[in-house]
Amino acid sequence: MELSDFSATTIAGSTQELSAYRGKVVLIVNVASECGFTGQYEGLQALYQEYAAQGLVVLGFPCDQFGHQEPGDEATIQAFCTTRFSVTFPMFAKISVNGADAHPLYAWLKSSRPGLLGTEAIKWNFTKFLLGRDGKVINRYAPADKPQALRTDIERALGQPAGVA
């Protein structure tokens, strides 16, 4: 499997085939508006602005499974991200990342790159997955890993053609 095998609902309510990001380096993040890590939106937007022309896309997936830190509806989330952090990268509708209702994309991400001690479950908001141009998971990053700390891995992935891990 790879990223292009999935689709997701955008924050505006339309279906987005993730094959639209084929050939791009993709950073997927489960986000929340009322989390201690919410300030990372700024760093995610900075990465997107800096590297988008080279082929990076950041995809934000709001999630309310951790401490009810994403209580709003999609319109509220979109307004928050736009006004507070000037987010321009693609945002999606609120999803579950764990449990029986986990979005299929997240089930695949977690099994592709388990976390600490081999556990697949997402532990908190702002867990990040970096995917190469081939649509495969390169790495998983903890919520505390700041977006800026991913620069080297992103630059390395951007320098590789599709299909090269």
Q: What is the pLDDT of residue 100?
A: 94
For position 48, which CATH number holds? 3.40.30.10
Of the residues 29, 35, 56, 150, only one is catalytic, namely 35
Q: Is residue 121 part of a domain?
A: yes
* pLDDT grade for 113, boundaries at 50, 70 and 90: confident
Q: Is residue 37 part of a domain?
A: yes
35 is catalytic: yes
Q: Is residue 20 part of a domain?
A: yes
| Count of domains forming the chain | 1
Q: Is residue 150 part of a domain?
A: no
* Whether the predicted pLDDT of 114 surpasses 80: no
Across 25-44, average pLDDT:
95
Q: Is residue 13 part of a domain?
A: yes
* Whether the predicted pLDDT of 162 surpasses 60: no
* Whether the predicted pLDDT of 116 surpasses 90: no
For 8, the domain range is: 3-141
Dump pLDDT digits (tens) for 121-154: 899 999 999 999 999 999 999 999 999 999 999 9
Q: Note whether 37 and 144 are within 8 A (CB).
A: yes
Six token digits for residue 45 = 């937007």
Q: What is the pLDDT of residue 164?
A: 47
In whole angstroms, what is the distance from residue 107 CA to residue 136 CA? 14
Q: Is residue 156 part of a domain?
A: no
Q: Is residue 66 part of a domain?
A: yes
Across 54-71, average pLDDT:
96
Sheet strands (E) in the chain:
7-9, 15-17, 25-31, 56-62, 128-131, 137-141
* pLDDT grade for 20, boundaries at 50, 70 and 90: very high
* pLDDT grade for 117, boundaries at 50, 70 and 90: low
Q: Is residue 60 part of a domain?
A: yes
Residues contacting residue 3 through CB under 8 Å, at least 6 positions apart: 18, 19, 21, 22, 26, 105, 131, 135, 136
